Each structure stands twice: as structure tokens, then as C-alpha cells.
């Protein structure tokens, strides 16, 4: 990866665009990729299939070199908008025993062999890069795997207090254990616990900050009852989602197998599959506060 990112990129759109404004370019211009891959093994996500389950990380020197190049660019205004990957705090995190057959590194809880201490190395790197001349601010805008972050108090405090630009993206996806089990995600109690820690650290450092949670409607196993539980959960907090994912099948994922067969391929147990009318109703429940349909996000994780 160091060799790839050492190539002489211009950090500018192709000349054929001839000065046309490109919103995506403006968003990612000062964003730096630190790694590829994800060991989350979420049932609905294809990232593992096209990036791998082992984290491939750049060296801190490679990232530092890119930031120094960006800092000299005439368009740079002093803010690194992101240093991360599919889940920012997975940078250089691996397995102490080299992996296993189950590959459920985070489900039902983070594995004891996972190198959770590496998250502190990530935040120390962020501090070093923030000290580069010309860099005034540095934020982590990539999604955070919150159940992993809670396993390292030092990293948790640093990410929230030093590198959150007012909003932190996390992906609990649902709060009902029946649904999160099918998603290979931690249940709602983990999200609630992290929410408390996030608020506590934000208050301690005197910052007004907010979590941006991502949820999925219409996932296999999700019923109107479980979706109403999520709706009530959001209403009780006054949370008005602006974006969410309405499940659709993506190749090579467990959730897609469930969607087409109505059966979990590993347990062989039947799974409730919402029909189109119920999927629409579930999405409506998720946006309880608005009659206007919000923009759906990709459940593949690519928006994340």
C-alpha cells in the first residue's frame, strides 16, 4: 500500500472536467486512506468480499508523507477531514494467533485474541500527524466500530475528545437482538453503553458532540414489531434520522442468501423476509418524524 500511495497523484480532477464543480472531490480531497479490509463479518456487508477480512495498513511514514504533500497543495485550507478506512479504528488491528476458521472477530463480542491495544497506536499516529506544519485540524470522519473502541479506553477517550468534529459515525444497524444476531452485530445494549460513554467523554472535554447512528430497515429477520421497537427507541431520544439503509441484496453475503431462500444458510432455520409492502412500512417507521422519504444509504458499507 505504501508503494501505491507513493505514486505521483495530482490531487486534482482530470483536466477533461474543465473546472466543473465535483461535490465528491471536495468531500474527499483532504481525506487520507489509512487501510483496507474489515474483520467485522457483518452478514449484509460485501466489504470483506472485495477488500478482505485481514486489515492491510499503510505505514505511519507513508501517511505522514501524503499529509505533508497535501499541506503544500494550493487548495488545502488546514483541515485533514479524515484518516481512516472501512472502520477507522481497525488500523493495524489483527489477530494474535493468526486467525481462525470462524472469522467472527467481533461477534457476539470482540475476541480475546484481537489486538485491541493497536487502537492506541492509531490515535498516537493521529497526534503526530496533527503536528505537521500547515495542519490546523484533523478529524476522523470514517465510521467507528464502537464495540471495538470500547475495548481500549485510551483510544476511546482520544477519538472522542481530540478527533471527532462534532459528529461521530457508528453503525449499530438495529437494537433488537433477534435482528442483530442475524446481522452478526452486537445487540442494542452495546450501543446504549457506548452512547453513555460518548456523552460522558464529550462533557468532560467541554464539547457539544453527537452520534450519527446508521440503521437498516427491511433486513431479513426484521419484523414490524422489531422495527416499532427501534422506532420507539429513536422517539424516546428525539433522534430524527436524516439517512438510513433500506436493505437490498448484495452478492456473496449471508443476508442475500437469507433474502432469497428464507433460511439462514448456517443454522438452516427459517428467517422472516419482509415483502415489498412491509419493507416500505419499516422504512416509514424508521423515519417516524417525517413524511418525506430520506435518502437511503448503501448497506454494503460503501457510504460509510
Which stretches within the chain are classed as H helix? 2-5, 23-28, 47-51, 60-71, 118-130, 146-149, 153-162, 177-183, 188-204, 224-237, 254-261, 276-286
Query: Are 203 and 209 within 8 A, CB to CB?
Result: no
Element of type H or E holding 296: strand 295-297
Nearest to 237 by CA among 215, 270, 267: 215
Lowest mean pLDDT, pick from 83-87, 100-104, 110-114, 179-183: 100-104
Of 140, 165, 190, the residue at which a domain comes to its end is: 165
Q: Identify the pLDDT of residue 90.
A: 98
Backbone angles phi, psi at 252, to 5 degrees: 75, 15
The confidence score (pLDDT) of residue 103 equals: 84
What's the mean pLDDT when you consider all of the chain?
A: 93
Q: Which of 11, 164, 160, 202 is nearest to 81 (CA)?
A: 164
> What local confidence, expressed as pLDDT, does residue 301 receive?
42
The count of domains in the chain is 2
Same domain, 125 and 183: no
Statement to judge: residues 195 and 153 lie in one domain: no
Q: In this structure, are residues 171 and 126 in contact, taking their beta carbons and an 8 Å threshold?
A: no
C-alpha closest to that of 86 among 69, 106, 70:
106
pLDDT band at 297 (very low <50, low <70, confident <90, very high): very low
Residues whose CB is less than 8 angstroms from the CB of residue 225 and which lie 6 or more positions away in sequence, other chains included: none
Co-location of 302 and 231 in the same domain: yes
Using pLDDT thresholds of 50, 70 and 90, give the confidence band for residue 292. low
- My answer on whether 137 and 244 are in the same domain is no
**In what order do the strands lie in the sheet containing 210-217?**
167-173, 210-217, 243-246, 295-297
Task: Please check whether residues 222 and 279 belong to one and the same domain.
Answer: yes
Q: pLDDT (tens digit, 9 = 90+) per residue, 4-40?
A: 999 999 999 999 998 899 999 998 999 999 999 999 9
Distance CA 213, CA 239 (A): 10
Q: What is the pLDDT of residue 117?
A: 96
Taking residue 280's Cβ as centre, other Cβ atoms within 10 Å add up to 15
Residue of 168, 166, 285 whose CA lies nearest to 224: 285
Q: Which of 165, 194, 209 is the last residue of a domain?
A: 165
Question: Quick one: 8 and 53 in the same domain?
Answer: yes
- 178/161 same-domain check: no
- Is the domain of 30 the same as that of 155? yes
The pLDDT score that the predictor gives to residue 242 is 85
Q: 72 and 48, same structural domain?
A: yes
Average pLDDT over residues 28-57: 95
Round to whole Å and give the CA distance between 106 and 86: 15
**Are 52 and 192 within one domain?**
no
CATH label of the domain that carries residue 56: 3.30.750.210
Are 11 and 141 within one domain?
Answer: yes
CA distance 4 to 2: 5
- Degrees (nearest 5) of the Cα angle 257, 260, 262? 85
pLDDT at 205 over 80: yes
SS3 of residue 151 by DSSP? coil
For residue 184, give the DSSP letter.
T
| Residue 280 structural domain | 174-304
DSSP, collapsed to helix, strand or coil, labels residue 243 as: strand
Same domain, 187 and 249: yes
Question: The domain that contains 197 carries what CATH number?
Answer: 3.30.750.200
Q: Single out the residue in 132, 165, 198 at which a domain terminates.
A: 165
Q: Where are the alpha helices (DSSP H) in 212-275?
A: 224-237, 254-261
For range 60-67, the mean pLDDT: 97
Per-residue pLDDT tens over the stretch 89-144: 999 999 999 989 888 999 999 999 999 999 999 999 999 999 999 999 999 999 99
Of the candidates 288, 160, 270, 153, which has an alpha carbon nearest to the alpha carbon of residue 217? 288
Supply the pLDDT for residue 302. 43
Amino acid at each position: 500500500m505504501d508503494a501505491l500511495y507513493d505514486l505521483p497523484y495530482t490531487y486534482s480532477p482530470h483536466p477533461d472536467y474543465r473546472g466543473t464543480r465535483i461535490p465528491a472531490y471536495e468531500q474527499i480531497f483532504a481525506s487520507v486512506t489509512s487501510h483496507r479490509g474489515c474483520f467485522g463479518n457483518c452478514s449484509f456487508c460485501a466489504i470483506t468480499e472485495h477488500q478482505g477480512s485481514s486489515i492491510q495498513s499503510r505505514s505511519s511514514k507513508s501517511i505522514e508523507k501524503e499529509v505533508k504533500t497535501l499541506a503544500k497543495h494550493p487548495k488545502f485550507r488546514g483541515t485533514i477531514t479524515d484518516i481512516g478506512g472501512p472502520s477507522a479504528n481497525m488500523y493495524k488491528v489483527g489477530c494474535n494467533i493468526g486467525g481462525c476458521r470462524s472469522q467472527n472477530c467481533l461477534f457476539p463480542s470482540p475476541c480475546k485474541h484481537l489486538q485491541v491495544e493497536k487502537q492506541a497506536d492509531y490515535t498516537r499516529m493521529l497526534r503526530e500527524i496533527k503536528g505537521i506544519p500547515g495542519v490546523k485540524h484533523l478529524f476522523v470522519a470514517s465510521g467507528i466500530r464502537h464495540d471495538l473502541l470500547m475495548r481500549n479506553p485510551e483510544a476511546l477517550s482520544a477519538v472522542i475528545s481530540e478527533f471527532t468534529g462534532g459528529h461521530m459515525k457508528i453503525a449499530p444497524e438495529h437494537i433488537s437482538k433477534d435482528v442483530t444476531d442475524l446481522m452478526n452485530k452486537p445487540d442494542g445494549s452495546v450501543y446504549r453503553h457506548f452512547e453513555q460513554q460518548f456523552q460522558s467523554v464529550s462533557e468532560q472535554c467541554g464539547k457539544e458532540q453527537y452520534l450519527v447512528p446508521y440503521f437498516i430497515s427491511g433486513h431479513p429477520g426484521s419484523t414490524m414489531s422489531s422495527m416499532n421497537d427501534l422506532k420507539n427507541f429513536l422517539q424516546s431520544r428525539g433522534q430524527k434520522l436524516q439517512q438510513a439503509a433500506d436493505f437490498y441484496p448484495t452478492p456473496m453475503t449471508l443476508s442475500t442468501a437469507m433474502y432469497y431462500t428464507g433460511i439462514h444458510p448456517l443454522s438452516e432455520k427459517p428467517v422472516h423476509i419482509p415483502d415489498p409492502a412491509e419493507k416500505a412500512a419499516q422504512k416509514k417507521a424508521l423515519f417516524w418524524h417525517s413524511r418525506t422519504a430520506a435518502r437511503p444509504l448503501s448497506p454494503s458499507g460503501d457510504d460509510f
